Amino acid sequence: MAPAEHNLTVAALWCIGGITVTVCTYSLATASPEGSHYFVAWGAILFGGIQFLKGLFSIGRDAEVPAPAMLTVAAPRVASTGSGGTVTDLSGSQAAAPR
């Protein structure tokens, strides 16, 4: 798993866990007839948010395609036999024709 994907997965787990704890404790507190306290798991939610942003920003840096390879265009290798028994391709290099 790439580091960016790992950060996004960890972020999702922390955020979902923090939101789940907050929603569950809030619903228990409001269901109580005399009222009660509830727990807001803001630390887990904040950590998950930071980790998620870290994963998003590192997605572009994890690409393994080097920039020069993306910009290189292969020259066509069409050959023709010229006079004198030499083979010339479009790049201008010459070689002796096979006999």
In a domain, 7, yes or no: yes
Provide the pLDDT confidence category of residue 14 given band limits of 50, 70 and 90.
very high
38, 28 Cβ separation under 8 angstroms = yes
> Is the pTM here over 0.85, yes or no?
no
In a domain, 93, yes or no: no
**Backbone φ, ψ for residue 86 (5° rounding):** -110, 150
In a domain, 86, yes or no: no
- Over residues 23-31, mean pLDDT: 93
pLDDT in tens, 41-86: 999 999 999 988 888 888 877 555 454 444 444 555 555 555 566 5
Provide the residue range defining the domain that includes 8: 3-65
57, 17 Cβ separation under 8 angstroms = no
In a domain, 77, yes or no: no
pLDDT in tens, 3-13: 788 889 999 99
In a domain, 29, yes or no: yes
Q: How many domains does the chain have?
A: 1
Token pair 């950060």 is found at 7
In a domain, 84, yes or no: no
